[in-house]
Amino acid sequence: MIDLPTTTELVKGRSLWSDGIRRLRKRGFAKVCFVIVLLYFALAGLIFLDGVFQWDIPLFDWQETVGPSYQKPWIQYEWTPEGQELSETGWTIFGTDFLGQSTFRKMLYGAKTSITVALFASVISLLIGVPMGAIAGYFRGWADDVIVWLYTTIGTIPGIVLIMAFAVVLRTQTFFGIEIKGITAVYVALGLTSWVGICRLIRGEIIKRKESEYVLAARAMGCSGGRIIFLHLLPNVFHIIIINFSLRFVGFIHAEVILSFLGLGETDKPSWGAMIDAARTELARNVWWEMVAATVAIFFISLALNIFGDALRDCLDPKLRTD
């Protein structure tokens, strides 16, 4: 007599996130870009911690004079006790500026400035746009009309003009005893003016999902509208928020560079936009390395974030899956 198995093996399914990570692991170039992004974030974090705990890491001391003014890249000078150069020895990355400060160190510090602005601006825009889009999409009616009117009105104003206006106004304001200036004014201005896109996107997704079976079941169990939005609907569109966050991060970095270039961003510490602005007047003297240093830094993080964001969207969005 043959003994039949008493249990049945069940094939364990994969969640959206585990399936997306599995697909993402197959993309080698996307993993390389993710490592590059992590290096930028790690660099920004180390510079921030160095400023908080006063570790005095020499590589992050951008104010130190390391050579003569306008020292060319990959050339290091040896000095006499009187301060006059003797000969060329060794090399240095990206040379020095007109004060003899290391361009390479300023480029590294600029990563902290740009990433800090992009991170805080992204968080502020998500905190505004996601709840407003969810409320508009779920409740509709007069709440939807007001929110749609608000983001439509803001959307008709050119983005850079609106950001500049907010940055100028906020630079002289004080909230809860904290003076808004420099880098703080930049990311607050970006966050308050950049929530329109994510608000419109979340509104459309909530409208599509509000009549789903799990939402109807939650209503039948007596769940309130707020509970349904934050515990049922938003978790199901969270992958869209992550994708939008990764793709918009580059835009915030570029906006910070533009504002710093125009003199509305960080003025006391290095930033990529301020470096480009300073190098613009020195190109006539054939001092090109400061411009190149800032441009190279912006290029690599922009390329890595765009490629990784596209790969993340392809892996997490069910409509775009090909495997």
Task: Convert the pLDDT of each residue in 278-310 to its tens digit.
Answer: 888 888 788 888 888 999 999 999 999 988 888
Contact in structure between 322 and 311 (CB atoms under 8 Å): no
Does the residue 312 lie in any domain?
yes
pLDDT at 3 over 70: no
Q: What is the extent of the structural domain holding 155? A: 34-64+102-320
For the chain, how many residues are written? 323
Does the residue 26 lie in any domain?
no
Tell me, what CATH number does 298's domain have? 1.10.3720.10
Q: Which residues share a beta bridge with 87? A: 78
Residues 6 or more apart whose CB falls under 8 angstroms from that of 218 comprise 227, 228, 232
pTM for the full model?
0.81
Q: Which residues share a beta bridge with 174? A: 179
Residues 6 or more apart whose CB falls under 8 angstroms from that of 55 comprise 49
Q: Please give the tally of structural domains in the chain.
A: 1
Does the residue 190 lie in any domain?
yes
- Tell me the residue ranges of DSSP E strands in 135-293: 174-175, 178-179
Contact in structure between 117 and 186 (CB atoms under 8 Å): yes
Does the residue 285 lie in any domain?
yes
Q: Which two tokens stand for residue 27?
A: 């993309």
pLDDT at 65: 78
pLDDT at 8 over 50: no
* Residue 63 or 132, more confident: 132
pLDDT at 90: 47
User: Which residue, 93, 30, 116, is CA-closest to 311?
Assistant: 30
Does the residue 240 lie in any domain?
yes
Does the residue 130 lie in any domain?
yes
Model confidence at 30, pLDDT cuts 50, 70, 90, reads: confident
The mean pLDDT of 189-210, rounded to a whole number, is 89
Query: What tens digit of pLDDT does each residue of 213-257 get?
Result: 888 888 888 888 888 888 888 888 888 888 888 888 888 888 888
The mean pLDDT of 311-318, rounded to a whole number, is 77
Does the residue 80 lie in any domain?
no
Does the residue 226 lie in any domain?
yes
